[in-house]
């Protein structure tokens, strides 16, 4: 059994202090093997915010797999934002980041979709570097076939219609298709501050898009929340853990037998895996 905590958008600087203060006991009861953080760890990328974020991350027990968000660059330092957008993130957050987590059930990797500046007016938009993505897919394919493959990013590759925030992630649809073709099982993201679980079939294979809510005060008609993902040899379950009336309440959002995940347990999948590797080397 693997117990995964999935956080996003804590936004230290405007974090929800009440929600964070009551988090410890809930986390302890979930017995996490790994914590995944999907970016926007700070609000403005200031040193004080990163210091607070680092203190919080340090006290999370166990390994962490972390990625940056668009708020984790210096909002008020344009020169730094252009020349060294993620230096402060690297200084404060990287020391806690395992970069990759792998056990008998899962393999989890992160990929940065945030940018300091971009050749467009809206710098908050996500970007999928397809070469980076292909490297992640190749690494997934080097692990045992039976492990669930999870990619941690900040921006959803495709925003669901019900999302209150609607943007277009550069290369998002193509990225999602490559992940599905490469037999990735789950993309964990944040950014929209709203939890969701969506089963997608961008190619022939199924892939889950999983968004965490936020533990900040920057909310959109929803309560502070994070996800708990349970994976064992037979089953995958995703639960939203929501802070309501001074308590954390769990609501199961998704549960499936692993052999019911279409695309993942197809006959002849060993052959498919070989095909996928060949495709990747041709790109």
Which positions lie near Fe ion, rule CB under 5 A?
Answer: 9, 40
Residue 139 CB, nearest distance to Fe ion (Å)?
27
Between the CA atoms of 119, 121, 126 and 131, what dihedral angle is there, to the nearest 10 degrees? -10
Residue 283 CB, nearest distance to Fe ion (Å)?
31
Residue 226 CB, nearest distance to Fe ion (Å)?
13
Instruction: Between 6 and 149, name the residue whose CB sits nearer to Fe ion.
Output: 6
Residue 193 CB, nearest distance to Fe ion (Å)?
6
Residue nearest to Fe ion (CB): 40
Instruction: Between 105 and 113, name the residue whose CB sits nearer to Fe ion.
Output: 113
Of 52, 45, 91, 47, nearest to 69 by C-alpha is 45
State the SS3 of the chain: CEEEEEECCCCECCECHHHHHCHHHHHHHHCCCEEEEECCCECCCCHHHHHHHHHHHHHCCCCEEEECCHHHCCCCCHHHHHHCCCHHHHHHCHHHCCCEEECCCEEEEECCCCCCCCCCCCCCCCECCHHHHHHHHHHHHHCCCCCEEEEECCCCCCCCCCCCCCCCCECHHHHHHHHHHCCCCEEEECCCCCCEEEEECCCCCCEEEEECCCCECCCCCCCCEEEEEEECCCEEEEEEEEEECCEEEEEEEEEEEHHHCCCCCCCCHHHHHHHHHHHHHHC
Residue 70 CB, nearest distance to Fe ion (Å)?
7
Instruction: Between 162 and 275, name the residue whose CB sits nearer to Fe ion.
Output: 162
Instruction: Between 205 and 209, name the residue whose CB sits nearer to Fe ion.
Output: 209
Residue 200 CB, nearest distance to Fe ion (Å)?
22
Instruction: Between 9 and 181, name the residue whose CB sits nearer to Fe ion.
Output: 9
Instruction: Between 42 and 109, name the residue whose CB sits nearer to Fe ion.
Output: 42
Residue 71 CB, nearest distance to Fe ion (Å)?
6
Instruction: Between 182 and 190, name the residue whose CB sits nearer to Fe ion.
Output: 190
What backbone torsions phi and psi does residue 225 show, to the nearest 5 degrees?
-160, 160
């Amino acid at each position: 059994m693997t117990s995964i905590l999935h956080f996003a958008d804590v936004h230290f600087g405007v974090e929800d202090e009440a929600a964070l203060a009551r988090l410890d006991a809930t986390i302890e009861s979930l017995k996490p093997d790994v914590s995944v953080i999907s970016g926007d760890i700070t609000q403005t990328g200031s040193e004080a915010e990163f210091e607070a974020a680092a203190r919080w991350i340090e006290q999370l027990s166990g390994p962490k797999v972390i990625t940056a968000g668009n708020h984790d660059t210096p909002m008020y330092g344009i020169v730094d934002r252009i020349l060294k957008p993620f230096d402060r993130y690297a200084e404060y957050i990287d020391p806690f980041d395992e970069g990759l987590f792998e056990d008998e059930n899962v393999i989890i990797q992160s990929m940065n979709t945030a940018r300091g500046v971009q050749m467009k007016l809206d710098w908050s938009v996500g970007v999928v570097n397809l070469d980076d993505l292909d490297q992640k897919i190749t690494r997934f394919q080097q692990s045992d076939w039976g492990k669930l493959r999870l990619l941690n990013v900040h921006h959803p590759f495709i925003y669901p219609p019900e999302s209150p925030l609607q943007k277009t992630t550069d290369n998002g649809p193509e990225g999602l298709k490559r992940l599905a073709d490469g037999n990735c099982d789950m993309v964990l993201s944040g950014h929209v501050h709203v939890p969701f679980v969506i089963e997608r079939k961008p190619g022939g294979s199924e892939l889950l898009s999983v968004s965490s809510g936020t533990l900040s005060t920057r909310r959109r008609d929803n309560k502070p929340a994070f996800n708990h993902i349970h994976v064992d040899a037979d089953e995958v379950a995703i639960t939203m853990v929501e802070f309501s009336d001074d308590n954390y309440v769990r609501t199961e959002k998704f549960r499936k037998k692993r052999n019911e995940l279409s695309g993942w347990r197809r006959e002849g999948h060993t052959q498919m895996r070989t095909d996928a590797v060949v495709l990747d080397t041709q790109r």
